Amino acid sequence: MIRVMLPAHLRSLVQRRGEVELQLEGAATQRSVLDALEAQYPMLRGLIRDQVTQERRPFVRFFACEDDLSHESPDAVLPDAVVQGAEPFMIVGAIAGG
């Protein structure tokens, strides 16, 4: 089970107050987590990754285990603590006003 922490704008959109829990088959990577997240919540398509290129949107960052994973390969396996559900995969809106 993967725990995903969404930023406030997206939590309100999916109508969840806390974390989102995902069941994955296969390796847990940024891509597989986001694929599963978008499958569970289709309204998130295009809001974290570009609709066409599937690249991370510029003002979105990915953190886990106190590390910035934003610039890691989307196919790199996530840290063990995230894979085992001990730590959340955090989707964060960049600090850029608002």
Partner 1 sequence: MTGVRVLVGTRKGAFVMTADGTRDRWDISGPHFGGWEIYHLTGSLVDTNRLYAAQSTGWFGQLIQRSDDGGTTWNPVGNAFVYDGVPGTHQWYDGTPHPWEFKRVWHLEPSLTDPDTLYAGVEDAALFRSSDGGQTWQELSGLRGHGSGSRWQPGAGGLCLHTILLDPSDPERIVIAISAAGAFRSDDAGTTWHPINRGLSSDYIPDPDADVGHCVHKIAMHPSRPDVLFMQKHWDVMRSDDAGGSWHEVSGNLPSDFGFPIAIHAHEPNTIYVVPITSDSQHYPPDAKLRVYRSQTGGNEWEALTNGLPQRDCYVNVLRDAMAIDTLDPCGVYFGTTGGQVYASANGGDSWSAIVRDLPSVLSVEVQTLP
Helix (H), strand (E) at residue 91: strand 89-93
Q: Does 83 bind partner 1 (CB under 8 A)?
A: no
DSSP codes of every residue in 29-86: BHHHHHHHHHHH-GGGTTTSB-TTT-PBPTTEEEEETTEE-TTS-TTSBPPHHHHTTS
> One symbol per residue from 36 to 75: x for binding partner 1 (CB under 8 A), - otherwise; what is it?
-------x-xxxx--xx----x-xx---------------
Q: Does 4 bind partner 1 (CB under 8 A)?
A: no
- Collect all residues with Cβ–Cβ distance below 8 Å to 70 and sequence separation of at least 6: 56, 60, 61, 62, 63
Q: Does 8 bind partner 1 (CB under 8 A)?
A: yes
The residue range among 9-17, 23-31, 32-40, 65-73 that interacts with partner 1, by the rule CB under 8 A, is: 9-17
Residues near partner 1 (CB under 8 A), total: 20
Contacts with partner 1, residue ranges (CB under 8 A): 7-10, 12-13, 43, 45-48, 51-52, 57, 59-60, 93-94, 96, 98
